[in-house]
Structures are given as C-alpha cells and as structure tokens.
Amino acid sequence: MKTIKVVAAVICDSLQEKSRIFATARGYGDFKGKWEFPGGKVEPGETPQQALVREIREELATEIRVGDRIGTIEYDYPDFHLSMDCFWCEVIKGDLVLLEALDAKWLTRDELDRVEWLPADLEIVKRIEKCMK
C-alpha cells in the first residue's frame, strides 16, 4: 500500500492558552465537506515544519509559528496509508483566508465533537482535547 507523508497544523489561539483551535472543511475530493486540520504533503528537502509554513501560506494566506509536535498519526484509508505529523501552531501574521477549504471554524474543547472529522484527524482530536483549556 502506498504511504503518503503529510503534516497538519493544529492552529490555536495561543501556544500557551490553547482555548480554541482552527479547523477547515475540505473543499475537494472524496472527503469534501469533512473537517480536518490544514496542512499537506511534505516536499522533498523540506522539514515537516517548513512544509507546514509553506502549506498554511498557500491554503490560508497566513504566516504561522510552528510549536511543539503533538504526535504522528498512522491511518489506513482504503487506497493508501497516511502518516501525518501534527504540530501546535499559532498565527503570527494574516487573517486565515480560505483559498482551498469550503468553510472554517474556531472550536473550543466543548465544540470539537460538533463537526464531522476526517478519520485520521479524529485520532489527533482525541489527543489535543486533553491539552486544551
């Protein structure tokens, strides 16, 4: 099975507080309309952190600071294996403009279960919930 290596930005209101996180609704493909953390594929020669900065600039026209690594999610979709490195991030410049996503929301810990997450992203939601205030 083919493995796809990606990174995901768990953008929070503050790396210290983590009271709200930013989620987007996928704008294309088989999982269109399902919720995820923004990010994308790591290009050859990039670190995961460099890939996140580039992807968020491309998808949301925003500059981010990449914080601590939350973990790596390994998930088998029907056609491929996903390996997703997830990092805490915060906005340092920009307004989170949706260039690819259908919709976006800032969610509190109590609101995390109010959207339909992609299966792999649901795995990281369980981890970050414990860190949010």
Across all residues in the chain, what is the average pLDDT?
Answer: 95
Q: pLDDT-derived band of residue 27, with 50, 70 and 90 as boundaries?
A: confident
Contact 8, 86 (CB under 8 A): yes
pLDDT of res. 86: 98
- Look at the chain and report how many structural domains it folds into: 1
pLDDT higher than 90, residue 89 = yes
What's the pLDDT band for 11 if we cut at 50, 70, 90? Answer: very high
CATH number at residue 79: 3.90.79.10
- Place 28 in a pLDDT band, splitting at 50, 70 and 90: confident
Domain extent at residue 54: 3-129
pLDDT at 132 over 90: yes
